[in-house]
């Protein structure tokens, strides 16, 4: 049996009609709008409140309100808000329910700040560990990314906020992100880089999609007809609006023709009212042609704000400005084009109640210019439940990579703990870039540890080495912090503290940021610090706060390693709760931790960071564990890995095909396995299911994640987990057929604790 994976739906099937007519209400607004007003609704303007990251001005005459778009993935930017853990930390929980609650909660904060669109989630695939934004993304695996992005979006939108999934598509590195072309074979695009976007559209009905900076097979994402119209709308049936990443559009008319609806932020950076570019407002007040060209000043001022790979377009006026005027005059772009774009934008306004909103919170009703009632739920910033959720995600995402028994720490057995690291005295709130959040309040590690261990345990703090330099889009790199001691940090002090304590906890971190990629090694002298502390201390625990894998040359010398990612404002309390066993470390790696950068598939200059502005994705579908398994490279810690303080045993694994599985609508399968908590501690297990395909027709990864369930299990309890496997999971993308194809032959399901710790299997034969 060889069959298309979508059953009746043939390749090229248009799904929802792309020319979907606007509702009556939107159609009548379109009738009333003047050409000038239409031009206002398709590009960003100035937010009168100075809060929004992007703002679509109102048309008060017609009761169309302004629309505020705000970053971002980990907390509401530009106001003081709850700083949640990094997206990769949420991903490490492998818990769709947690993702849904996170979505609802962050949307509540967005509503409280009177924002309408949340510029999140980022669902790009972690193709290379060096990507500076991997902390903002979920995973190297499209199934895990989709399973978490869908409930997150549903959560956001259920709270009355439009989600904007980003960055569509293949924005997998920060090096030269504005100019490089991701040269991707179709199969890899379909199997790895598009599924999370597809799920956001077809399952979560996301309101908005952000077109990325980069080019894909030669064409800018903002001007890509295939991505923005053929795939997004004609195949997937997207009826929301597309928006450019900030200053990503390079050709206005081409973008309109391709299917871009909204250009952001709609003005050069020095007109863009954001607290972090106030200096530019001052510059803007200078008369043109003054003693120094304004544009040059702007370049100089924006340089540090754009770490390594400056956006060449930030000083340009909107490409939906005079370029479109000329194109309209020349007849290349018509008013019908504008109506189509605005119909999509206003369609989402209508769906989310903006057209009925009078404006609540910070935005004056007159700015909104709309009706009387706001049907959307009111929000709140910094509720107790939000703080609790920030703690819960940080705890649930923390991955215990290795433990020789030193953990959990027990305050009753200890007299002293040395807490060491260049940032051991502060929370790691997030990475650099547009996702930065001004946290409502942070818990630093010393406080968290002291509270968990109790007053009888002496916790000494030493930095050991200088603080790690951070790039920040929004604030000075070094916020004021109380100094720990008199002189600067010294290795000798760290070693002494380690020697004198019962146990040393070393906290180290990377400095990942949007706008630049990072090295695979920990920055500065942190490896050295760990080695020296490990040599001095009786027992050493390393807590990594990184955006992903780093080299761990000291692995054999330490007793436990924890990956806490960027835990957000709750850092100190959450990490201490895991260290002390108040909660089980439930996190599992959403990315493979390789031993060296060379072990990853993008190991040539052509593949990463690219040559002549082309990045060659010739590794195809062999990314992450798909590569490590296929090439038989031993990872340091495999995808899906994470220890628990409890111990789990797996029973037999069974698989059954649904009725009709051999006809065009099948197969779907149910994989079941029983899991027992065979320890005396309560814990959580993440039951993972990988499918090994026949792989006769094309070269396929040995195994791919097709399902998982995250289950709390009390000590001694067992439970049968049933995983529903959909048709697509069996299939590969056939480039010739331009469709998903399911091969005949044996499909084997493996269940287990990670991609490399498989505890049972069951096989189905198709077509025989």
Q: Which residues are catalytic?
A: 245
Among 181, 434, 540, 710, binds ligand BGC (CB under 6 A): 434
Find where tokens 């695009």 sit. 189
CB of 257 to ligand BGC, least distance (A): 23
Distance, CA of 417 to CA of 451 (rounded, Å): 13
Contact flag: residue 166 with ligand BGC (CB under 6 A): yes
Of 249 and 434, which has the nearer Cβ to ligand BGC?
Answer: 434
Residue 29, both tokens: 């607004």
Distance, CA of 668 to CA of 665 (rounded, Å): 8
CB of 248 to ligand BGC, least distance (A): 8
Among 41, 119, 389, 542, binds ligand BGC (CB under 6 A): 119
Residues 6+ apart with CB under 8 A from 79: 51, 113, 381, 438
Residues 6+ apart with CB under 8 A from 453: 409, 411, 414, 417, 459, 576, 580
CB of 245 to ligand BGC, least distance (A): 5
E strand or H helix that includes residue 420: strand 416-420
x-marked contacts with ligand BGC along 198-237 as a string, rule CB under 6 A: ----------------------------------------
CB of 138 to ligand BGC, least distance (A): 14
Find where tokens 């005079």 sit. 322
Residue whose C-alpha is closest to residue 251's, from 324, 183, 182: 324
Distance, CA of 244 to CA of 338 (rounded, Å): 16
Of 66 and 515, which has the nearer Cβ to ligand BGC?
Answer: 515
Of 245 and 584, which has the nearer Cβ to ligand BGC?
Answer: 245
CB of 434 to ligand BGC, least distance (A): 3
Of 221 and 621, which has the nearer Cβ to ligand BGC?
Answer: 221
CB of 490 to ligand BGC, least distance (A): 38
- 566: phi then psi, degrees, rounded to nearest 5: -105, 105
In terms of C-beta distances under 8 Å and separation of at least 24 residues, what long-range contacts does 369-377 make, across chains too? 369/58, 369/59, 369/60, 369/61, 369/63, 369/64, 369/65, 369/66, 370/58, 370/63, 370/64, 370/65, 371/63, 375/160, 376/111, 376/159, 376/160, 376/161, 376/352, 377/108, 377/111, 377/159, 377/160
Of 164 and 713, which has the nearer Cβ to ligand BGC?
Answer: 164
- Contact yes or no for 67/369 (Cβ under 8 A): no
Residue 637 sits at the vertex; the CA angle it makes with 635 and 641, to the nearest 5 degrees, is 130
x-marked contacts with ligand BGC along 243-282 as a string, rule CB under 6 A: --xx------------------------------------
- Contact yes or no for 649/217 (Cβ under 8 A): no
Q: What is the largest CA-CA distance in the chain?
A: 81
CB of 451 to ligand BGC, least distance (A): 35
- Contact yes or no for 751/673 (Cβ under 8 A): yes
Length of the chain: 768
> For residue 29, what are the CA distances in angstroms to 63, 204, 345?
9, 27, 12
Of 145 and 725, which has the nearer Cβ to ligand BGC?
Answer: 145
Of 74 and 597, which has the nearer Cβ to ligand BGC?
Answer: 74
> For residue 223, what are the CA distances in angstroms to 39, 168, 181?
19, 12, 13
CB of 55 to ligand BGC, least distance (A): 12
- Contact yes or no for 749/669 (Cβ under 8 A): yes
Find where tokens 């002298």 sit. 525
- Contact yes or no for 80/91 (Cβ under 8 A): no
The strand pair at 438-439 and 80-81 is best described as parallel
Of 70 and 536, which has the nearer Cβ to ligand BGC?
Answer: 70
Of 245 and 616, which has the nearer Cβ to ligand BGC?
Answer: 245
Of 203 and 276, which has the nearer Cβ to ligand BGC?
Answer: 276
Beta strands in 140-268 (DSSP E): 162-168, 181-183, 208-211, 215-216, 219-220, 241-244
x-marked contacts with ligand BGC along 690-729 as a string, rule CB under 6 A: ----------------------------------------
CB of 398 to ligand BGC, least distance (A): 25
The strand pair at 503-509 and 162-168 is best described as unpaired
Q: Nearest to ligand BGC by Cβ — which residue?
A: 434
- Contact yes or no for 325/333 (Cβ under 8 A): no
E strand or H helix that includes residue 118: strand 117-118
**What distance lies between CA 60 and its chain's CA centroid?**
36
Return the DSSP state at 300: H
E strand or H helix that includes residue 447: helix 445-453
Distance, CA of 268 to CA of 286 (rounded, Å): 16
CB of 431 to ligand BGC, least distance (A): 12
Of 162 and 578, which has the nearer Cβ to ligand BGC?
Answer: 162
Of 72 and 567, which has the nearer Cβ to ligand BGC?
Answer: 72
Q: Taking the C-alpha atoms of 513, 519, 522 and 528 in order, what is their torsion angle to the nearest 10 degrees? A: -140
CB of 178 to ligand BGC, least distance (A): 10
x-marked contacts with ligand BGC along 313-352 as a string, rule CB under 6 A: ----------------------------------------
Give one DSSP letter per residue of 484-542, joined into a string.
SSSS---HHHHHHHHHHSSEEEEEEE---BTTB---SSPSTTHHHHHHHHHHHSSSEEE
# of chain residues touching ligand BGC (CB under 6 A): 9
Please classify residue 681 by burial: count the beta carbons closer than 10 Å to its beta carbon, then call 0-12 exposed, 13-18 middle and 19+ buried. Answer: middle
CB of 50 to ligand BGC, least distance (A): 14
Of 310 and 353, which has the nearer Cβ to ligand BGC?
Answer: 310
Find where tokens 């999934």 sit. 165
CB of 216 to ligand BGC, least distance (A): 16
Which parts of 66-95 interact with ligand BGC (CB under 6 A)? 71-72
In three-state secondary structure terms, 299 is helix
In the complex, which residues of this chain contact ligand BGC (CB under 6 A)?
A: 53, 71-72, 119, 166-167, 245-246, 434
């Amino acid at each position: 049996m060889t069959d298309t994976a979508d059953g009746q739906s043939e390749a090229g099937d248009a799904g929802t009609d792309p020319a979907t007519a606007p509702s009556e209400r939107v159609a009548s607004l379109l009738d009333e709008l003047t050409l000038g007003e239409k031009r206002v609704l398709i590009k960003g303007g100035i937010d009168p409140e100075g809060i929004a990251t992007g703002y679509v001005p109102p048309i008060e005459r017609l009761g169309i309100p302004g629309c505020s778009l705000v970053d971002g993935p980990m907390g509401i930017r530009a106001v003081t808000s709850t700083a949640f853990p990094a997206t990769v930390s949420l991903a490490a929980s492998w818990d769709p329910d947690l993702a849904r609650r996170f979505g609802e909660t962050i949307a509540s904060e967005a509503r409280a700040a009177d924002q309408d669109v949340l510029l999140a989630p980022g669902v790009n695939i972690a193709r290379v560990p060096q990507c500076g934004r991997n902390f903002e993304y979920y995973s190297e695996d499209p199934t895990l990314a989709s399973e978490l992005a869908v409930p997150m979006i549903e959560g956001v939108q259920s709270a009355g906020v439009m989600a904007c999934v980003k960055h569509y598509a293949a924005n997998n590195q920060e090096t030269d992100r504005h100019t490089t072309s991701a040269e991707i074979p179709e199969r890899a695009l379909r199997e790895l880089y598009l599924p999370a976007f597809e799920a956001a559209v077809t399952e979560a009905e996301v309101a908005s999609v952000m077109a990325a900076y980069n080019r894909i097979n030669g064409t800018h994402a903002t001007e890509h007809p295939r991505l923005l119209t053929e795939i997004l709308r004609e195949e997937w049936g997207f009826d929301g609006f597309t928006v450019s990443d900030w200053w990503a559009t390079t050709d206005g008319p081409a973008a309109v023709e391709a299917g871009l609806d909204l250009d952001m932020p709609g003005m050069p950076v020095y007109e863009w009212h954001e607290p972090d570019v106030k200096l530019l407002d001052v510059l803007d007040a200078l008369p043109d042609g003054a003693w120094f060209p304004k544009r040059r000043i702007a370049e100089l001022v924006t340089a540090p704000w754009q770490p390594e790979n400056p956006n060449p377009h930030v000083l340009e006026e909107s490409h939906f400005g005079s370029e479109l005027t000329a194109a309209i005059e020349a007849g290349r772009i018509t008013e019908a084009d504008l109506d189509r774009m605005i119909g999509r934008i206003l369609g989402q306004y209508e769906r989310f109640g903006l057209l009925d909103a009078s404006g609540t919170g910070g935005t004056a009703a007159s700015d909104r210019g709309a009706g009387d009632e706001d049907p959307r739920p009111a929000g709140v910033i910094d509720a107790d439940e939000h703080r609790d959720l920030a703690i819960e995600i940080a705890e649930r995402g923390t991955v215990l990579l290795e433990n020789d028994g030193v953990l959990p720490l027990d305050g009753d057995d200890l007299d002293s703990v040395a807490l060491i690291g260049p940032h051991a005295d502060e929370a790691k709130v997030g990475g650099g870039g547009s996702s930065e959040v001004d946290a409502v309040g942070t818990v630093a590690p010393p406080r968290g540890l002291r509270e968990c261990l109790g007053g009888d345990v002496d916790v000494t703090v030493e930095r050991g080495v200088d603080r790690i330099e951070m790039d920040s889009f929004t604030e000075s790199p070094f916020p004021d912090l109380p100094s720990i001691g008199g002189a600067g940090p010294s290795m000798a002090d760290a070693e002494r503290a380690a020697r004198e304590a019962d146990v040393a906890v070393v906290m180290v971190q990377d400095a990942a940021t949007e706008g630049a990629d990072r090295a695979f090694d920990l920055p500065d002298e942190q490896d050295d610090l760990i080695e020296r502390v490990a040599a001095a201390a009786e027992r050493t625990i390393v807590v990594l706060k990184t955006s992903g894998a780093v080299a761990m040359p000291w692995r054999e010398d330490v007793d436990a390693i924890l990956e806490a990612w960027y835990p957000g404002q709750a850092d100190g309390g959450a990490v201490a709760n895991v260290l002390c066993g108040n909660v089980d470390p439930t996190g599992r790696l959403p990315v493979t931790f390789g031993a060296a950068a060379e072990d990853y598939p993008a190991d040539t200059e052509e593949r990463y960071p690219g040559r002549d502005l082309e990045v060659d994705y010739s590794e195809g579908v062999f990314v992450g564990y798909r590569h490590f398994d296929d090439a038989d490279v031993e990872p340091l810690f495999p995808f899906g890995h994470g220890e628990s303080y409890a111990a789990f045993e797996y029973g037999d694994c069974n698989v059954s095909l649904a009725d009709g599985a051999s006809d065009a609508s099948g197969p779907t399968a149910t994989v079941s396995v029983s899991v027992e908590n065979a320890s005396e501690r309560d814990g959580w297990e993440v039951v993972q299911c990988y499918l090994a395909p026949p792989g006769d027709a094309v070269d396929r990864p040995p195994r791919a994640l097709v399902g998982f369930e995250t289950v709390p299990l009390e000590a001694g309890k067992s439970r049968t987990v049933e995983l529903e496997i959909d048709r697509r999971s069996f299939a590969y993308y056939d480039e010739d057929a331009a469709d998903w194809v399911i091969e005949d032959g044996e499909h084997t399901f493996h269940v287990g604790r990670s991609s490399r710790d498989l505890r049972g299997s069951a096989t189905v034969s198709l077509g025989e």
